[in-house]
Chains A and B, each alone.
Chain A
């Protein structure tokens, strides 16, 4: 227990890095995922194909492999970024596929009549999606979206193996230095993850009740 209390500063540093990586990646991945979902329901076959290909390739690749490509292959293409930025790219690219599918299921849950009505009053596809379909779609998929956010939070731990000093890297380092307190240290890191994921779940519950569509 002392090993945890003596290293609270180090833990905080790791916690802040994990939090930053989670928030940044969530925002970017949700945006990219929504765009992909729009592509997958669009009337243009090329866009539909591109969206489907992205989702199938990325979500069927282990995250560690995505990380490997981001961290070690991008630099060979002369992309020079910090390890944190590469990690954010890897987490974003990977989870965008899952966000896409959650959003798409929400779009499919909106009655066809809504989209048809929108088009018939002269809205373009983009307008009808943005103004009519998506606002209704998001309301129905709050629980699956939060599922992805929680998975994303925990998956940021892989960044610890790729040069980012986040919670898991901190715990690994402290565990090696204090071999008599390994369990306490990993429990400490688990508590930090819970401090991130439990509020997300709680927030999701409130959000869900608030935006629920009365049908």
Chain B
């Protein structure tokens, strides 16, 4: 009896190891960012020179935002923000493998930049005056905005926020998009949940007719169930996403702005978009003009 139990245990352990090995395999380096500008040279004392000398860089990004910064099963983040960060690092002569990724959530982006825990942040980071008081922004490299998600085929024919009148529209309790609907489109029947995944579920069941929040969040929801949802794709607010860096580091900011212009012109920006968010987003957006304030 005892011997048999041991055999069963060993068997179970072997099966588990095999399963784990199968999961760990196939670590394919997806996406772009492969180009490394080895010949880059920077003036003495700049952040770029220091990072190139060190050969590595620490980047803050989101780990939970599908299509922009989402940690995959191998533990590496992937998405549009991640590709942009790789391109910037590449222009400094740093390979993608030498980037240390740090999770930055909305609440800790400013402190992480100020404390030098990250060299720069690419994390669906909206540029606004309040944040400009404490950090500097390069970019914007993308302009997000509040949009509407509907059931596939748009059975209600919703073309914009004005069409929400009398319809049940879902968002997260107390979020900026929810307050925007409450204040500016009071005819809409607002239903609030604590997370967007419940809104998606309610939309799938036909309990609400639309879900509204920033288009990038909606794209993330659509990417998980492209058969059920579609984006109206008429953003009605402006959320310019910038790259956050230490306040006062103008040379670094100029360098990132130059890099963004360069990758927007030579097609790498579009390639990065197509490989990530472009997979579910309808059409390719035009990169917004760089704001060199």
Contact = CB atoms under 8 A, between A and B. Distances in A.
B202 A72 contact: yes
B147 to A, nearest CB: 20
B41 interface: no
Interface string A140-169: 000000000000000000001111010001
Contacts of A54: none
B192 interface: yes
Interface residues of B, number: 17
A172 B198 CA distance: 17
Interface in B194-241: 194-195, 198, 201-202, 205-207
A72 B200 CA distance: 10
Contact of A173 (B191, B192, B198): B192
A111 interface: no
Contacts, number: 46
Contacts of B192: 163, 165, 169, 173
Given A83-B191, A83-B207, A163 B202 contact: yes
Interface in A54-108: 71-72, 75-76, 83
Contacts of A169: 173, 192
B258 interface: no
A163 B198 CA distance: 9
A172 B174 contact: yes
A176 interface: yes
Contact of B173 (A75, A76, A83, A160): A160
Contacts of A72: 198, 201-202, 205
A120 to B, nearest CB: 54
A177 B170 CA distance: 18
A76 B205 contact: yes
25 contacts: A72-B201, A72-B202, A75-B207, A76-B205, A83-B207, A160-B173, A161-B173, A161-B193, A163-B191, A163-B192, A163-B193, A163-B198, A165-B192, A169-B173, A169-B192, A172-B194, A173-B174, A173-B178, A173-B192, A176-B173, A176-B174, A176-B175, A176-B179, A177-B174, A177-B179
- Closest 6 A-B residue pairs measured CB to CB? A176-B174, A161-B194, A75-B205, A173-B174, A163-B191, A172-B173
